[in-house]
Structure formats: C-alpha cells, structure tokens
C-alpha cells in the first residue's frame, strides 16, 4: 500500500479546490513579478502562514524560479506541534496537495539518512505540520515536475544545523533547490516586530548564519524557522553561493489592519 502524506491544512491555510488554488497562486505570482533576473539560484526563504497573510510575500520568492529547470526540491521546515531530537525526513512515498501528489526522492533521502543518528526517516514532525505543506502548492505551480525531499527539524540547535547543512551540501547539484520555511516575530506591536525582524533580514543579507543562530538563542530576534534558514545559508556557502537578498518583508497587519500584535514574514533568495 502506497504511503502518502495527505494535506492537513488545505481549506484552512490555502484553498482546497484545485482550480481555486491554482487561480490564487497565479494571481499572487502576477502581482509580485519583478524585472530582476537571477541566474544561479541555490535556495529560497519563504513564509508559511495562511495565504491571505503571507502568500504575497512567498510569491516574491517563487517568482524567481519560474522557468528554472529544477528536478529536486529540498524543503526544510521547523516543527510547530511536536518536539523531537534530530531531523525527520518523511518515510512514505509522496506528499499530496489539491494539485496532486509529489513523489519523494528516495535516492537522495537515503544518502541523507544512511549511517546517521541525527537525520532519520520517520513521521515525526510530518503528521500535522503546516510549514512544509504550504510551500508545496507554490512549487507545483512554478516547477511542474520535480521530486521532493521533505525535512522537518525537531531540534534547531547549532549541532543539528551544521550536520544537516553538511549533508545537504554533499547531495546538492545544480538541478536541486532548497527551500527554508520560516515566519518571523510573533504577536508584538509593529514597532517592536520591525526591530526584531530587521535583524533577521540583516543576517540573511550578510549570509551570517552563526550570528543569526546566536541572535535567536539570546532572544534578539525571532524566527520559528531560524534553523532551516541557517541550514540553507551554511549549505550555500559550502557550495560557493555567496549572495543573499531579502526580496520582501512585511507583517500580518498588512492584511488585517491591526498592528498591535503582528506576525512578521519575509522572502529571500540565495544565489551566486
């Protein structure tokens, strides 16, 4: 029997109708088009709230890979609903959204998990996690045909960041793209949120993952996917990709009009 991870936030975070979902993503991509073209893209940072809140921000990132020839996508996500030691890669055959099934790349998954204690195949972090799932419809629209390596970090300490970044760098080729899923600060007023989120933006633009991990550890900034972002940056540096650019940053107040307690979002690109 084929083991497929069914969508759990379709109809909540994004439309559960195929046609409506495609229409909404294409509209978001249309309103975030850019004149700038990036040739060699290693990875993206994209937020993972409901599409009405962070879909526009995510679209700025996904616009940059339209027409690119990636056949493997590694998505690195935080775990919101359960803590577990280590890093979990889904042990089924596919992830599913209303746009269809995405087959997993078992060859790459085996290379990441073989002879590893920290990185393992399992369902830990995958059962109810939205942060990975909400990236997939965007990818299905902009890339069409690819295999997936879905990774959830149960623990985002530096030792896990370093291990995963090294392993991803070892399996990377130019037909692979890495997506780091993260929102920013949660439920501060806009003035405080801006201060916290600007620090994340500066660390990404400087490709300084070690400072970002330290800033997160000392509560100078907030990012639920700070570990995944750091994994993306470190693996990029290993492979010689030295440029980063935050494409767009905002908060939930842009949608709700309420700036008394916002959630921050940004999208970014890592390239050579």
Instruction: Give the pLDDT confidence of 94-149 residue by residue, as tens digits.
Output: 999 999 999 999 999 999 999 888 999 999 999 999 999 999 999 999 998 999 99
- Whole-number Å distance between alpha carbons of 29 and 59: 5
Dump pLDDT digits (tens) for 14-28. Answer: 999 999 999 999 999
pTM (2 d.p.): 0.97
Per-residue pLDDT of 196-212, as tens digits, reads 999 999 999 999 999 99
**Looking at residue 64, what is its pLDDT?**
98
Q: Backbone phi, then psi, for 208, in 5-degree steps?
A: -105, 80
Residue at token pair 């990636």: 70
Average pLDDT value over all residues in the chain:
97
Cα–Cα dist 175/266, whole Å: 25
Rounded CA-CA distance 272/198 in Å is 23
**Architecture of the domain defined by 4-271:** 3-Layer(aba) Sandwich (3.40)
pLDDT at 151: 98
pLDDT of residue 89 exceeding 90, the answer is yes
Mean pLDDT of 265-271: 98
pLDDT bin (cut points 50, 70, 90) of residue 179 is very high
Pairing of strands 176-181, 72-78: parallel
E runs forming strands in the chain:
4-5, 41-46, 72-78, 87-90, 94-97, 100-103, 119-122, 147-153, 176-181, 186-188, 243-251, 262-271
pLDDT in tens, 224-233: 999 999 999 9
pLDDT (0 to 100) of residue 115: 86
Q: What is the band of 1 on the pLDDT scale with cuts at 50, 70, 90?
A: confident
Stretch 235-255: mean pLDDT, rounded?
A: 98
How many C-beta atoms surround the C-beta of residue 206 within 10 A? 12
Read off the pLDDT of residues 62-86 as tens digits, 9 standing for 90 and up.
999 999 999 999 999 999 999 999 9
Whether the predicted pLDDT of 172 surpasses 90:
yes
Which ranges constitute the DSSP H helices of 98-189?
106-113, 130-133, 136-143, 158-171
* Per-residue pLDDT, 144: 83
pLDDT digits (tens, 9 = 90+) for 21-67: 999 999 999 999 998 999 999 999 999 999 999 999 999 999 999 99
Q: For residue 229, what pLDDT is reported?
A: 98
């Amino acid at each position: 029997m084929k083991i497929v991870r069914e969508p759990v936030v379709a109809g909540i975070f994004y439309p559960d109708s195929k046609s409506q979902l495609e229409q909404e993503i294409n509209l978001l991509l249309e309103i975030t088009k850019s004149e700038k073209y990036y040739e060699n893209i290693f990875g993206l940072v994209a937020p993972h709230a409901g599409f009405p809140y962070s879909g526009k921000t995510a679209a700025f990132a996904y616009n940059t890979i339209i027409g690119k020839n990636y056949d493997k996508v590694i998505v690195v996500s935080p775990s919101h609903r359960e803590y577990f030691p280590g890093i979990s890669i889904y042990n089924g055959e596919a992830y599913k959204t209303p746009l269809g099934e995405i087959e997993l790349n078992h060859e790459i998954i085996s290379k990441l998990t073989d002879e590893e204690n920290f990185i393992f195949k399992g369902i830990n972090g995958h059962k109810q996690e939205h942060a990975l799932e909400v990236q997939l419809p965007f990818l299905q629209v902009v890339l069409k045909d690819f295999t997936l390596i879905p990774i959830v970090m149960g623990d985002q300490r530096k030792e896990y960041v370093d291990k995963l970044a090294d392993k991803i760098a070892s399996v990377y080729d130019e037909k692979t793209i890495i997506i780091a899923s993260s929102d920013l600060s949660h439920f501060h007023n806009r003035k405080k949120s801006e201060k916290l989120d600007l620090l994340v933006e500066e660390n990404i633009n400087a490709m300084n993952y070690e400072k970002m991990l330290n800033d997160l550890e000392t509560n100078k900034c907030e990012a639920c996917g700070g570990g995944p972002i750091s994994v993306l940056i470190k693996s990029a540096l290993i492979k010689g990709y030295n440029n980063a650019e935050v494409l767009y940053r905002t908060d939930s107040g842009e949608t709700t009009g309420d700036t008394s307690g916002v959630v921050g979002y940004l999208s970014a690109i890592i390239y050579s």
